[in-house]
Amino acid sequence: MMGVFRAQAEPYDDERRRCCGCCRHIREQKCCWFFFVLWAVVGGLAIGTLAWFAHDAKEPRYSAAIASVSGLDPARDLGRATLDPEFNLTLRIASRSHTSGACVGVGAALDVSYRGVRLAGAPAPHLCARRMGAAETAAPVVAWGAAVRVPGFVLDGLAGDMRRGGGAAFDVTLTVPSVQGSRQGKLVRCLARRVGDAGALLDPCVVNDVDTAVAVPQPAA
């Protein structure tokens, strides 16, 4: 009868198995930490990139100022049944993007109003600013109105404001038409602009998106 031979593990074998298991555990931990750090870095870069693009997608900043006005003299003009005002405007646009400039394109229009009554209008000039830069019209943009009828109570208020050293506050509106393939245009409202206030160029206008195709308006009539 053959005897059963049983091999007894040497202490060295047990130590080696424990050592190998420990090394494998350490390697697994290192691998997990490596992937954790890798995903953290990738996630951080992705979030940073999205935040940068969100910041970079800011709307351009628009502003406008009224350099001078004619046809609104209280003694000569504001007693007439109709008015023929003329405004010299300065338009400014500033890009807030690191990747692209900003432009006032062809088809945009300017209007000047007083207490909701449109007094003058003109096509806006083509104007572009470089990325993170600003540009303004080199020469005044002339907005004019012809035979404009103004309600009596509005005319009285305008006459009173003009007698007080030209203290009338006018609203300048820039209408930017929708681009090809989109119905979304922009309505840029520059509120309470006073004649001769060059500092108005530092006061940004309010920008609203409008869902319309806009035609260039003709001078007020």
Helical (H) or strand (E) element with 209: strand 206-211
pLDDT higher than 70, residue 24: no
Query: What is the distance of C-alpha 214 from the center of its chain?
Result: 19
> What are the pLDDT digits (tens) for 95-105?
999 888 999 98
- Residue with the larger pLDDT of the pair 23 and 157: 157
Instruction: From 113, 123, 125, 124, select the one nearest 83 (Cα to Cα).
Output: 113
Q: What is the mean pLDDT of residues 24-50?
A: 58
**How far are the Cα atoms of 14, 19, 63, 104, 160 from residue 9, in angstroms, in the given order?**
7, 15, 88, 86, 111
Supply the mean pLDDT for the chain: 81
Q: Indicate the range of 23-27, 41-45, 117-121 predicted with least confidence.
A: 23-27
What is the rounded CA–CA span in Å between residue 206 and residue 157? 25
85: its two tokens: 């005002």
> What are the pLDDT digits (tens) for 112-168?
999 999 999 999 999 999 999 999 999 999 999 999 999 999 999 999 999 987 689
- Residue with the larger pLDDT of the pair 41 and 142: 142
Note the pLDDT of residue 42.
63
